[in-house]
């Protein structure tokens, strides 16, 4: 087998042979090689996370008409390393009365929740990681650990502002995981499987974003809320909570929360690409080399990450009552309606999908179903908003007359 056709497999077989040659048990050698593979992936992700700090600061600088880091190293590339050194040497404090075990475990769980998501990411056709049949459910379950870490940090800090920030994140978790999980079912309907690699393979003809553009949009909105990024960053509302759930953290503990947030945003950009944009697929280039397939996936994930940054740095934070109203009265009903419409149209046009000459009818039908569903939802929302505004404007003159 050529090294460039499957570099990880060739390298793993070579290492197992080396360890076996040293007299190591074959099973233990296999486990050790698997551990080294996991360690390599985590190392690469952490290095990527360092440069995500630089990318985020550069992007927000451009949005705000600034330069961003530009002193340490070319284009300020060494600035993240200087920040890491600063965080390491900062005093590590623990508030009095804090639950020390839970307090110190929270930032570790925050980072771990992101790293374990990459266990099910298909990097290339021959680099699948853990090929779970229930990968879509694993995505929700593992992502919830990050929210749990925020709750733990807020509760254990013995600080009322931190606790309020943790409570707000509970509201976000309960609210927006519902439309996110609902939209995860749309690629599952198209594919007939919860396996992430099967979802990518099913997009050989057309990416799912063309079949369900509204589903891709709802998933993105729910993912941003799940990440706690603006305009849904209610757990870190500095105008009223100072710094929210992480107010009592300093040094690298704070740095782990920050790094976990950035890597989480990039990871969700990757899953957005996998579920709706074909993952590592791009006009057959993924068959040339696994390295090229990984590069395609990283570029798509970075584009998703850029969209998340774009939303964060151009939209204002909304109030918690507005957020909950938006989710429970609009986004969640729309997600359920879209799921039902998708399942119905998929069943009605099943024969067209399986016919290569009529597959265009299936694609057009799915796209139009999304457009009509979105248009009806907007018209209903517009009508309800108009009636509410008229009701408020009708009450206001009466109140003024009484005064």
- Number of domains comprising the chain: 2
Residue 53, in any domain of the structure: yes
What is the predicted pLDDT for the residue at 401? 54
What is the predicted pLDDT for the residue at 283? 87
| pLDDT tens sequence across 312-347 | 888 888 888 888 889 999 999 999 999 999 999 999
Query: Are 171 and 220 part of one and the same domain?
Result: yes
Mean pLDDT of the residues in the chain: 87
What is the predicted pLDDT for the residue at 344? 95
| pLDDT tens sequence across 225-284 | 888 787 887 766 666 666 778 888 888 888 888 888 889 899 999 999 999 999 999 988
Domain coverage including residue 6: 1-89
Instruction: Kindly tell me if the per-residue pLDDT of 400 is higher than 80.
Output: no
| pLDDT tens sequence across 271-316 | 999 999 999 999 888 888 888 999 999 999 999 999 999 998 888 8
Residue 400, in any domain of the structure: no
Residue 386, in any domain of the structure: no
| Final residue of a structural domain among 46, 63, 89 | 89
Residue 376, in any domain of the structure: no
Instruction: Kindly tell me if the per-residue pLDDT of 147 is higher than 90.
Output: no
What is the predicted pLDDT for the residue at 282? 92
| Final residue of a structural domain among 45, 62, 89 | 89
Q: Considering only CA atoms, which of 148, 177, 153, 174 is closest in space to residue 165? A: 153
Query: Are 239 and 291 part of one and the same domain?
Result: yes
Give the predicted TM-score (pTM) of the model.
0.90
231 upstream amide cis, omega within 30 of 0: yes
Query: Are 44 and 101 part of one and the same domain?
Result: no
- What mean pLDDT comes out for the span 87-102? 86
Query: Are 283 and 294 part of one and the same domain?
Result: yes
Percent of the chain, pLDDT > 90? 37
Instruction: Kindly tell me if the per-residue pLDDT of 403 is higher than 80.
Output: no
| pLDDT tens sequence across 191-225 | 999 999 999 999 988 999 999 999 999 999 999 98
3-state secondary structure the chain: CCCCCCHHHHHHHHHHHHHHHCCCCHHHHHHHHHHHHHHHHHHHHHHHHHHHHHHHHHHHHHHCCCCCCCCCCHHHCCHHHHHHHHHHHCCCCCCCCCCHHHHHHHHHHHHHHHHHHHHHCCCECCECCCCCCCHHHHHHHHHHHHHHHHHHHHHHCCCHHHHHHHHHHHHHHHHHHHHHHHHHHHHHHHHCCCCHHHHHHCCCCCCHHHHCHHHHHHHHHHHHHHHCCCCCCHHHCHHHHCCHHHCCCCHHHHHHHHHHHHHHHHHHHHHHHHHHCCCCCCCCHHHCCHHHHHHHHHHHHHHHHHHHHHHHCCCCCCCHHHHHHHHHHHHHHHHHHHHHHHHHHHHHCHHHHCCCCCHHHHHHHHHHHHHHHHHHHHHHHHHHHHHHHHHHHHHHHHHHHHC
Instruction: Kindly tell me if the per-residue pLDDT of 399 is higher than 60.
Output: no
């Amino acid at each position: 087998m050529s090294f460039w056709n499957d570099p990880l497999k060739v390298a793993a077989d070579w290492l197992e042979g080396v360890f076996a040659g040293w007299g190591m048990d074959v099973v233990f050698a296999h486990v050790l090689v698997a551990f080294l593979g996991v360690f390599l992936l985590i190392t690469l992700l952490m290095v990527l996370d360092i440069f995500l700090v630089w990318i985020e600061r550069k992007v927000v600088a451009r949005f705000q008409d600034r330069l961003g880091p530009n002193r340490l190293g070319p284009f300020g590339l060494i600035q993240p390393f200087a920040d890491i050194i600063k965080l390491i040497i900062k005093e590590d404090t623990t508030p009095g009365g804090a639950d020390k075990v839970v307090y110190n475990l929270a930032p570790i769980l925050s980072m771990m929740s992101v790293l374990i998501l990459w266990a099910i990411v298909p990097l290339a056709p021959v680099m699948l990681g853990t090929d779970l049949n229930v990968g879509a459910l694993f995505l929700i379950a593992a992502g919830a650990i990050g929210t749990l870490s925020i709750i733990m940090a807020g509760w254990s800090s013995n600080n009322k502002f931190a606790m309020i920030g943790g409570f707000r994140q509970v509201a976000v978790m309960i609210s927006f995981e519902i439309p996110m999980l609902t939209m995860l079912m749309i690629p599952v309907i198209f594919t007939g499987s919860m396996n992430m690699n099967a979802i990518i393979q099913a997009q050989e003809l057309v990416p799912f974003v063309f079949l369900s553009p509204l589903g891709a949009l709802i998933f993105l909105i729910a993912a941003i809320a799940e990440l706690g990024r603006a305009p849904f960053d209610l757990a870190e509302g500095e105008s009223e909570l100072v710094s929210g759930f992480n107010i009592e953290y300093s040094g690298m503990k704070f740095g782990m929360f920050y790094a976990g947030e950035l890597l989480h945003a990039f990871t969700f950009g990757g899953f957005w690409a996998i579920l709706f944009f074909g993952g590592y697929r791009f006009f057959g280039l993924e068959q040339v080399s696994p390295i090229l397939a990984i590069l395609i996936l990283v570029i798509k994930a970075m584009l998703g990450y850029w969209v998340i940054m774009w939303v964060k740095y151009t939209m204002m934070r909304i109030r918690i009552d507005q957020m909950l109203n938006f989710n429970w009265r609009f986004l969640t009903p729309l997600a359920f309606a879209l799921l039902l419409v998708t399942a119905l149209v998929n069943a009605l046009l099943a024969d067209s999908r399986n016919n290569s000459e009529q597959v265009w009818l299936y694609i057009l039908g799915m796209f139009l179903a999304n457009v009509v569903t979105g248009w009806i939802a907007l018209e209903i929302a517009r009508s309800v908003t108009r009636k509410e505004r008229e009701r408020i404007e009708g009450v206001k003159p009466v109140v003024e007359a009484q005064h």
